[in-house]
Chain A
Amino acid sequence: MSETIGFTIDGRPVRARPGQTILEAADAAGIYIPRLCAHRELHPFGACRVCTVKVNGRPQAACTMPAAEGMVVESNTPELTEHRRRLIEMLFVEGNHYCMFCEKSGNCELQALAYRFGITAPRYPYLFPNRDVDASHPDVLLDRNRCVLCARCVRASQQLDGKNVFQFVGRGANKTLWVNAERELADTNLDVRDRAVDVCPVGCILRKRQGYTIPIGRRRYDHEPIGSDIERAGAARGA
């Protein structure tokens, strides 16, 4: 046991291996900390800030913060939940998220987070940005209206596919997902089997001709909230 780090999340003792982030240790302990840009197979990025927790009273992204001995982490508190709701609402109004005709609906992590938090309408005005759709690739659709700038595809292409298909250009509200080509996605070496295509949490990167193959009622988040798998595993271990 001396090899591991001990700390608490919402008063529950948690153990972590050296080098593990708070988020990884929480997952292993069966405590779900909501997140969007974090992905098990990818290096932490810390962009969406949905996983923000308090560490010894100070805000930190759980996905990038290494666990340390004795740290006191707060996650499931009314204050943090409220911040998370606002961040999710910001992401909704920032893009053009028309769930009713999005192929990702039901399997979308942004939508699932909103369901988990019971959001019925954002308190912020919709910004209705003008964004491009890139349908050039024979097998993959890139609809930037739905991009949440999480960089999962950027990272997966680099870290899992050994390519560099995606990167961001511009800054601030003009920050945009771009492709490694002069013009469009078809000019890159993206393959339909690339992991970069799978990891998109929303309906921004989609395989063509796969829409609505899973009927309503059997989609990932139709019946239970996002994070239930982690919590169930934790409950099973605790029991």
Chain B
Amino acid sequence: MTDIGHAVRQICAVYHNDASRLMDIIEAVQSRYGCVSSEAMNLIAQALGIPRVEVHSTVSFYSFLSNRPKGRVIIRLCSDPIDEMFGMLPVANTFEETLGVHVGETTADGAITLEWTPCIGMSDQAPAALINDVVVTYLSTDKAREIVAELRRSGDPRKLVHRLGDGHNAHPLVRAMVHNNIRRKGPVVLADLPPGAALRKALAMSPIEVIRDIKTSRLRGRGGAGFPTGMKWEFTRQAEGARKFVICNADEGEPGTFKDRVILTEYADLMFEGMTIAGYAIGAKEGILYLRGEYAYLRPLLEHILQVRRDAGLLGRDICGKRGFEFDIRIQLGAGAYVCGEETSLLSSCEGRRGDPKNRPPFPAQKGYLGCPTSVNNVETFCCVARILDRGPGWFAEIGSKGSPGTKLFSVSGDCAAPGVYEYPFGITLAELLRDVGAEDVQAVQVGGPSGQLVGPDSFGRRLEYDDLATGGSIMIFNSSRDLVHIVRKFLEFFADESCGYCTPCRVGNVLLLRKIEEILHDRGSPDDLHYLEELSATVKFASRCGLGQTSPNTVLSLLRNFPEVLKRRLKPPAGEFLATFDIRAALADTERLVGRSSVMYAP
């Protein structure tokens, strides 16, 4: 065994013993030793001069980090409802049987760990799983057996990839079986642009003129909240601070969304170009791409593209010959935490800490990363930026609808003929989208992921735009055979798992919502539950500290509002004295087994 002390000190030294790089240090230690052991935590704390419990706190926050040894190979099965609809449960059972462990356990030889993980951004090729960094798609029970056999044979997940996907998925630095599933290209994002073309046009203008162009284009953030990008940049530019940052939010964690995956795979240049333009506009020299841990398989390609851009003079000093304009980008890898898609949590994570959101005010534009003015924008937003600079703000503003200029990428999954990525001008109706993707017998559509809204046929005439059905891009389609209450349960389970736990309403409220929906699913619902769910949801939405808790009850509320009958069918007033939620038989079952007799009072 090599000296762990030496190795950890070396890793810390690579990051100049900078505590704000704790995420990178922890990830490096874990990839070397399989976990961040108690000893490793002590060593990291010593090297960085921070309390040990701070290291522990960060390690414990992220689901891909662990302080206990896990298998050399970790199989992470995607737990979202789409994967379940396409057969994940039998696949999971097959993994359990062939490995001889339950989900959550490691094989006795320490070789393989089996886990659930929330949406990995592959809902268009479900069921899917992550095996270490390797994505496996379109799983079946047969494939599960083959995977276990191969892992037992070679222990190398890379050997699971036989047929490569299209486009850059087949790039030697990626070598993934993932398919882009680009179904409809539009003029803004999914279109070619020679690297540097937009940047040169931007650099011919003053930074203030660039911001003016973005404002003229009326571009709004593509992550979902829809804040005007030009205004965000202006605030960041005007904020005092010698050091400023541009951060690209590629923590695409909303279940059912995967459009950023496709951009990162095929149009990363466009995104990096947009980031560089942002750096010029706001006066930042440093950019960070926060890449979700699930997309770690794209990191070598992205690092390569960054290097090509450096070599071409599109990053680094005197970019495109513009004297004094300096900008570079580093990649910060996440580690499995949905909340880090919230921009202030993302900042905490970039700073090497638990992904707790920050108090606002101050906003990131004033005090963001390391206390410096920071503009955080979505992957797709940066692509739009580059295109706007290339084609002009007027051209962009003409596309789409009045309050929502431009196009939008939709990640379409679930019950339809052609799941995948679609670029449409804003303002198309949901019905048009459903027709194009080949969705029939549609019972409900989850627009904007679990934090969005579940809508039924009476809403299919509504428009996909900021002022009507707003969405960061996730469109999940459920046909009439799907159990909506079960889907809501899955979403609540997701939120309860992903809550950072900082504030009371989100930490406790989501657990209570989940519990109530589970009772209803187990036929223990009563009519009073409608009121209970309404008022509990109201407080979670009202009092939560960040977007996670402010939106997590939407799934319950849209079920209540848009599908009241679906829920009411399951609620009945209790027949006798007992509350619907009290199950005397269940309460006695354990004792009956232990003492070896049945109840006389409450005979089975």
Q: Please report the C-alpha to C-alpha distance between residue A178 and residue B53 in the assembled complex, in whole angstroms.
A: 7
Stretch at the interface among B25-33, B274-282, B467-475, B492-500: B492-500
Residues of A with C-beta under 8 A to B538: 83
Determine the chain B residues whose CB is within 8 A of the CB of A66 once the complex forms: 361
Q: Please report the C-alpha to C-alpha distance between residue A167 and residue B337 in the assembled complex, in whole angstroms.
A: 19
Q: Which residue of A lies closest to B360 (CB)?
A: A64
B504-A171 in contact (CB<8A): no
| Cβ contact within 8 Å between B544 and A86 | no
Enumerate chain A residues within 8 angstroms of B502, measured Cβ to Cβ.
Answer: 47, 149, 175
Residue B564 is within 8 A (CB to CB) of chain A in the complex: no
A170 beta carbon closer than 8 Å to chain B: yes
Chain A residue at smallest Cβ distance from B60:
A169
Residues of B within 8 A of A135 (CB): none
Tell yes or no: B598 within 8 A of A by CB. no
A194 to chain B, nearest CB (A): 15
A127 at the binding interface (Cβ < 8 Å): yes
Q: Give chain A residues whose Cβ lies under 8 Å from the Cβ of B512.
A: 90, 93, 124-125
A84-127 contact mask (Cβ, 8 Å, vs B): 1 or 0:
00110011011000000000000000000000000000011101
Contact (A164, B51) CB under 8 Å given A86-B535, A170-B61, A171-B60: yes
Instruction: Report whether B501 and A86 are in contact in the complex, using a CB–CB cutoff of 8 Å.
Output: no
Q: Given the complex, which residues of B lie within 8 Å of A124, measured CB to CB?
A: 512, 536
B508 within 8 A of A: yes
Q: How far, in whole Å, are A125 and B513 apart by their CA atoms in the complex?
A: 11
A158 to B39, CA, bound (A): 24
Name the interface residues of A154-177: CB closer than 8 Å to any CB of B: 164, 166-175
For residue B145, which residues in chain A have a CB less than 8 angstroms away from its CB? Answer: none
Range of interface residues on A (Cβ < 8 Å) = 35 or more
Decide: B501 and A174 in contact? CB cutoff 8 A.
yes
Query: Bound state CA distance, A64 and B504, in angstroms?
Result: 15
User: Contact string, B121-165, partner A, CB cutoff 8 A, digits 1/0?
Assistant: 000000000000000000000000000000000000000000000
Q: Which residue of the partner chain, among B42, B53, B505, B535, contacts A164 with CB atoms under 8 Å?
A: B53
Taking the closest CB of chain A, its distance from the CB of B19, in whole angstroms, is: 12
Question: A66-B361, A91-B504, A172-B496 are contacts. A167–B543 as well, Cβ < 8 Å?
Answer: no
**B41 nearest in chain A by CB position:** A182
Residue ID in chain B nearest A91 by CB atoms = B504
**Given A46-B545, A83-B543, A90-B504, A167-B359 contact (CB < 8 Å):** no
Q: CA A225 – CA B539 in complex, angstroms?
A: 24
Instruction: Say yes or no: is B503 at the interface (Cβ < 8 Å to chain A).
Output: yes
B56 contacts the other chain (CB 8 A): yes
B505/A173 in contact, CB under 8 A = no
Contact among A64, A91, A167 for B51, CB-based, below 8 A: A167
User: Do A172 and B57 touch across chains, with their CB atoms under 8 A apart?
Assistant: no
A87 touching B545, Cβ below 8 Å: no
B215 at interface, CB cutoff 8 A: no
Interface 1/0 per residue, B189-223 and A, CB below 8 Å:
00000000000000000000000000000000000
In the assembled complex, the Cα of A83 lies from the Cα of B502 at a distance in Å of 18
Of chain A, the residue at the smallest CB distance from B501 is: A175
Q: How far is the CB of A169 from chain B (nearest CB, A)?
A: 4
Is there an interface contact between B515 and A168, defined as CB atoms closer than 8 Å? no
Would you call A47 and B503 a contact (CB within 8 A)? Answer: yes
In the bound assembly, the distance between CA atoms of A154 and B307 in angstroms comes to 43
Kindly state whether residue A15 has any CB partner on chain B within 8 Å. Answer: no
B507 interface contact, C-beta 8 A: yes
Nearest neighbor of A151 in chain B, beta-carbon distance? B502
Report the minimal beta-carbon distance from B529 to chain A, rounded to whole angstroms: 12
Instruction: Give complex CA distance A46, B499 in Å.
Output: 15
Closest to A166 in B: B53
B511 interfacial by beta-carbon distance below 8 Å: yes
Cβ of A48 within 8 Å of any chain B Cβ, yes or no, is: yes
**Which 8 interchain pairs have the tightest Cβ spacing?**
A175-B501, A164-B51, A169-B60, A90-B508, A180-B53, A167-B53, A172-B499, A49-B543
Residues of A bordering B, CB below 8 Å: 44-50, 52, 59, 61, 64-66, 82-83, 86-87, 90-91, 93-94, 123-125, 127, 149, 164, 166-175, 178-182
Interchain Cβ contacts under 8 Å between A and B, 15 examples? A52-B543, A61-B359, A82-B535, A91-B504, A91-B508, A93-B512, A94-B504, A94-B508, A125-B581, A164-B54, A167-B53, A168-B354, A171-B498, A172-B507, A172-B511
Known: A87-B539, A87-B543, A149-B504. 19 other contacts (CB 8 A): A44-B359, A48-B504, A65-B361, A83-B543, A90-B509, A93-B512, A123-B532, A124-B512, A164-B51, A164-B53, A168-B354, A169-B56, A169-B57, A171-B60, A172-B497, A172-B499, A178-B53, A178-B57, A180-B53
